[in-house]
Structure 1
Amino acid sequence: MRPLIAAEVHKLRSTRLWWWLLLASMALTALYVTLLIGFSDDPDTLTAPLDTAAGQQTLFAVASGGANTLVAVVAAIGITGEFRHRTATATFLTTPQRRKVVAAKLATYATVGAGYAVVCLLVVAAIAWPWLSAKDIDLTLLGNGLPGTYAGVVADVTIFAVVGVGLGALLRNQVATVVGLLVYRFVAEPMLTAVPAISDWTAYLPGSASAALTQVSLSTQNYLDPWLGGLVLAAYGLLFAVVGTRVSMRRDIT
């Protein structure tokens, strides 16, 4: 298994895509933090005050929003690229047990996801700490339940990486997979969660489960408890990983 994971790491490092999408994740995170702090004094803001535990948890939870979808894209491209560039045949001939190849990709990109999460959390801290200090708001990085948010962010981005690999193995078409991920995350699910009449079941969608796990608090949205959000999101990750692996094992390579 180690040689397969090493091979996946080499494939990943041979392109600059992971680096550009990491920079994009950091930029998105910085934008979200800036907007959240910049509008925190607006009476119409949707988040809790930043001098409260809920407000600071929401602040650090934006690291997840900056990274999870782009990590899923990186992971999806990591497996769909095998079919787009016609390297899948050589890969699966070298390792006839396809489940091991998919498992190596799952392990590799899950680790990449955890790395993205940590970097984006550091971006939040680098921006928020001096800014909140200037506003006379005490930010204790190990207080106010923030360690739970950190863990939630890492788990969340890691699971999204697993979803990306599973979805890529399932669809195989790179453009369809990437476009589908982006449209769902940035268009379809936000539209669904904006409809109050169906809020009871939209809380179980991946994005809402992600927000619950990372302890986001919004005045316009009710989320599951963090532990339940984590279980729901983990179920999505497991579902896509299992289905994607089984389909890739049974489907003809070409």
Structure 2
Amino acid sequence: MTALVRAEWTKLFTTRVWIGLLLGACVLVAGFTALFTAFAGSADDGGGGPGGGGPPLPPVGTPEYEQLALATGANVTVLFLILGIIGTTQEFRHRTATPTFLTTPRRGRVITAKLLAYALAAVPLAVVVIAVNVAVVLVYAGARGDAPELSGDNLRVLAGVGAALVVYTVIGVGVGALVRNQVGAIVGALVYLFVVEAIVQLVPALSDAYKWLPGGALEAMTATIGLTELLEPWQGGLVLLGYGIVAAVLGTLLAVRRDVV
């Protein structure tokens, strides 16, 4: 298993995909955090101003601001999800699945190695993203007069973000094993995250179910400015972990049973 995990790391780090996704994640986190801090304390004007008709943004220096600003890294979970999807689907896209499974006929071991390799690889990538998030918050909020302390609930939020990035990577590997078509898997994941979950959250008849979805669990683990009722942080963590386990198990089972095309 160790050799298989190392082989997956070699496949990952000898390409530029991870570099592009990591750079994109860092740029997005820095931009989101800077914008959030810039508009922190803006009043809700009910129109087209910074409030945009939604709840007002908490001012710099408040616990609400600190937790929301430090949770900005959760916005790039989609890129970690894509990283996991590419890690599996590239085998089928580039026709390397057949030699891979011939080398290691026990397909379950191959998928398990991918899950372990990408989960472990996601840890340092998540640390980099969180470091960028924290650096921007400390510098910008400090320039506005009140840099947050990295303790208590703020540390919990950062830990939640890091765990979520790793779990979403594992979910991506599982989704890739389930769908196998790279474009289809990525487009399907984007539609689910940005359309399906948004509809569930906004439709009153469905909104109660949102807290049980990956997006609701993610918000519970970190911080949210929304008005939707969520689970407790530890409950959200268990729910998201459950999704990761289900995706991993289903992806492994289907990879073992289906023919390689």
Q: How many residue pairs get matched?
A: 251
Paired with 2:92 and 2:224, the residues of 1 have a C-alpha distance of 41
Paired with 1:250 and 1:243, the residues of 2 have a C-alpha distance of 11
Q: How big is the shift at 1:108?
A: 1.2
Paired with 1:191 and 1:200, the residues of 2 have a C-alpha distance of 12
Counterpart mapping for 1:34-53 below 5 A: 34-44=34-44, 45=51, 46=55, 47-53=57-63
Report which stretch shifted further, 183-192 or 78-87: 183-192
Q: Is it true that 1:131 corresponds to 2:140 in the alignment?
A: yes
Q: Is it true that 1:183 corresponds to 2:191 in the alignment?
A: yes
Report which stretch shifted further, 236-245 or 113-122: 113-122
Q: How big is the shift at 1:200?
A: 1.1
* Gapped regions of structure 1 (runs ≥ 5): none
* Gapped regions of structure 2 (runs ≥ 5): 45-50
Do 1:79 and 1:169's aligned partners in 2 also have CA atoms closer than 8 Å?
yes
Report which stretch shifted further, 169-178 or 44-53: 44-53
Residue of structure 2 in register with 1:206 after alignment: 214
SS in 2 for 1:41: coil
Over the aligned positions, Cα root-mean-square deviation in angstroms equals: 1.5
Task: Map Cα deviations across residues 76-108 of structure 1 (whole Å, 9 max, x no partner).
Answer: 111111111111010011111111111111011
Structure 1 residues 156 and 182: CA distance shift in structure 2, 3 A = same
SS in 2 for 1:196: coil
Q: Normalising to structure 2: TM-score of the pair? A: 0.91
Structure 1 residues 31 and 187: CA distance shift in structure 2, 3 A = farther
The one-letter amino acid of 1:182's match is L
Which residue among 169, 178, 191 is the counterpart of 2:177? 169
Which residue among 62, 75, 78 is the counterpart of 2:84? 75
Report which stretch shifted further, 86-95 or 42-51: 42-51
Q: How big is the shift at 1:52?
A: 2.4
Residue of structure 2 in register with 1:89 after alignment: 98
Q: How big is the shift at 1:144?
A: 4.1
Structure 1 residues 49 and 120: CA distance shift in structure 2, 3 A = same
The one-letter amino acid of 1:6's match is R
Paired with 2:80 and 2:124, the residues of 1 have a C-alpha distance of 10
Structure with greater contact order relative to length (CA < 8 Å, sep ≥ 6): 1
